[in-house]
Structure 1
Amino acid sequence: MPPKVCNKCRGRVRAGQRCPTCRPAWQGSSYSGGSTRRGRLLAKQQLEDHPICQAPGCRRLASQVDHIVNLASGGDRYDRANLQSLCGPHHEAKTLAEARAGRRRRTADDDPAPF
């Protein structure tokens, strides 16, 4: 099938695929629709067991639970070994780094072949 043109950005897109530039932000992410009771209980237990941020050298109080291997990369949502307690700034920095890496991966995977 011949390539098509995106109605929004006018870029070329492979037939049968969505435009990688214009697709909704949530599409292709690890978001699965919300938390579960089991996940909230694991997070509570993690923060009770490790109340200090587990980032190397940090001594701040942990306020968030993070998946060491993120879900989009195949990390297990309910594995205690895949959880770490982090303070807000370290969690935000790690999340931003993972998002940038995911965008680079997705862009490389979605690049249409030369026409």
Structure 2
Amino acid sequence: MPNGQWKTSTRKATLPTGWDKIRRRILTRDNHTCYKCGNHATHVDHVANSAAGGDDSDANLAAICFDCHQTKSSAEGGRAAQARKPKRTRPAEAHPGIVR
């Protein structure tokens, strides 16, 4: 893998048993055609990821090309990172024209 961060990834551990067989079946079902752009697909995507309640059923899996998969996964990761960030809040200030 090109990125050293993948050496410690637990991603493979979260894939269902028999993933290689499932992956080949989905790619064949979808004629190796990316569901996003129509280009040649080499990956299989969870259309709704597990954080969004998606599962490993065939109905939730679709063939996707490398570029679309990278774009989609990066966007999902960015949204997840934003959701984990603490929200910056300030106490509401009284209007300067209101006397208390």
Give the TM-score category using the shorter length.
0.5 to 0.7
1:35/1:93 CA distance change after superposition, 3 Å: same
Q: Distance in 1 between matches of 2:12 and 2:34?
A: 26
Query: Which position in structure 2 is the counterpart of 1:8?
Result: none
1:47/1:32 CA distance change after superposition, 3 Å: closer
Gaps of 5+ in 1: 1-24
TM-score, with structure 1 as normaliser:
0.59
Query: Which position in structure 2 is the counterpart of 1:60?
Result: 39
| Greater C-alpha Rg | 2
Q: Which runs of 4+ in 1 moved over 4 A?
A: 111-114
Q: Cα RMSD between the aligned structures?
A: 3.0
Counterpart of 2:80, as a letter, is G
Q: Distance in 2 between matches of 1:32 and 1:45?
A: 18
Equivalent positions of 1:1-115 (< 5 A) are: 31=11, 33=13, 35-50=15-30, 51-55=32-36, 58-76=37-55, 78-108=56-86
Higher helix share: 2
> Residue by residue, what CA displacement relative to the aligned partner does 1:11-60 show, whole Å, maximum 9, x if unpaired?
xxxxxxxxxxxxxx9xxxx84725444222211100011111110xx231
TM-score, with structure 2 as normaliser:
0.67
Query: Which position in structure 2 is the counterpart of 1:16?
Result: none
Query: Which position in structure 2 is the counterpart of 1:4?
Result: none
